[in-house]
Amino acid sequence: MKTHFNLANSSYDLIANALNDDGYIVLPKFLPDELTEQLYQHVSTIPEQEFKVAGIGRNQSFQLNDKIRSDRTRWLSSFDPVEQAYLSIMDDCRQQLNQQLFLGLRDYEAHFAHYKEGSYYQRHVDAFHGRSNRLVTTVFYLNPDWDQQDGGELIIYHNDSSNTVCRVLPEFGTMVVFLSEQFPHEVLTSMRDRYSIAGWFRGDMAHVN
Ligand code: OGA
Ligand code: MN
């Protein structure tokens, strides 16, 4: 099984330029098919009990809130070769972004998210202004043959308004990247199992998850 992959530098250039201009980008077929396939096989076999009720906030401000979100999450770690392959690409990405932008991205953390039928994540922001925690959000989708009728679209809004910037179907191999502080977003109710990898480039070091 191949566990080390390199992306063309042009992929990272696209992200850097987009973050500089619009602040977001949607990239279909972001990873080599072989790796997307491996991630999909892998996430499909993670036992359901490893996915935990996701919370909002961390530490003291951590709350479980199934009104706001009803997905289940499981952190990636470098101990698993397939997870490591993904994390190492995202670390390459982090270094490239640091060379081209001045965001000072120090770390990357990511979790698999499983939305069962009926699950959603209401409008929210991943980070708050003035804290250099989550600076750039990435979401990578692992759902073959996704259809409009399956719901589960990601809707990205303009800051402080109900105007939509874009709607993304969570299709197999699609990557979305956006500035965490600037774009409120939501996940519409999913009509079938929906898998994604949500991740964040941070300005500080992630806690051990
Ligand atoms: C998140 C999130 C979006 C998605 O986990 O914070 O907004 O499309 N996920 O899965
Ligand atoms: Mn989010």
Share of the chain above pLDDT 90, in %: 83
Measured in Å, residue 188 CA sits from the centre of ligand 2 at: 12
Confidence band for 209, pLDDT divided at 50, 70 and 90: low
Measured in Å, residue 116 CA sits from the centre of ligand 1 at: 14
Going by alpha carbons, the residue nearest to atom 6 of ligand 1 is 126
Number of domains comprising the chain: 1
Please list the helix, strand and coil fractions of the chain in percent, rounded to the nearest 5, in that order: 25, 30, 45
pLDDT, averaged across the chain: 93
Confidence band for 207, pLDDT divided at 50, 70 and 90: confident
The pLDDT of residue 2: 84
pLDDT digits (tens, 9 = 90+) for 39-75: 999 999 999 999 998 766 655 455 556 689 999 999 9
Average pLDDT over residues 144-166: 95
Judge whether 50 lies within some domain: yes
Could you tell me the sign of the dihedral formed by the alpha carbons of 54, 56, 61, 66, in that order?
A: negative
pLDDT at 190 over 60: yes
Going by alpha carbons, the residue nearest to atom 5 of ligand 1 is 198
Query: Does ligand 1 lie within 6 Å of residue 176's CB atom?
Result: no
The pLDDT of residue 67: 80
Judge whether 184 lies within some domain: yes
Closest residue by Cα to residue 114 from 182, 179, 53, 204: 53
Domain span at residue 135 reads 9-207
pLDDT digits (tens, 9 = 90+) for 16-42: 999 999 999 999 999 999 999 999 999
Q: Which of 133, 167, 175, 185 to mutate to test the pocket of ligand 1 (most atoms within 8 A of CB)?
A: 185
pLDDT digits (tens, 9 = 90+) for 68-109: 999 999 999 999 999 999 999 999 999 999 999 989 999 999
Confidence band for 10, pLDDT divided at 50, 70 and 90: very high
122-138 CB burial, b ≥16 within 10 A, e <16 = eeebbbeeeeebbbbbb
Judge whether 4 lies within some domain: no
Judge whether 81 lies within some domain: yes
Tell me, what CATH number does 173's domain have?
Answer: 2.60.120.620
The pLDDT of residue 129: 67
Judge whether 3 lies within some domain: no
Looking at the CA of 176, name the nearest ligand. Answer: 1
Measured in Å, residue 35 CA sits from the centre of ligand 2 at: 24
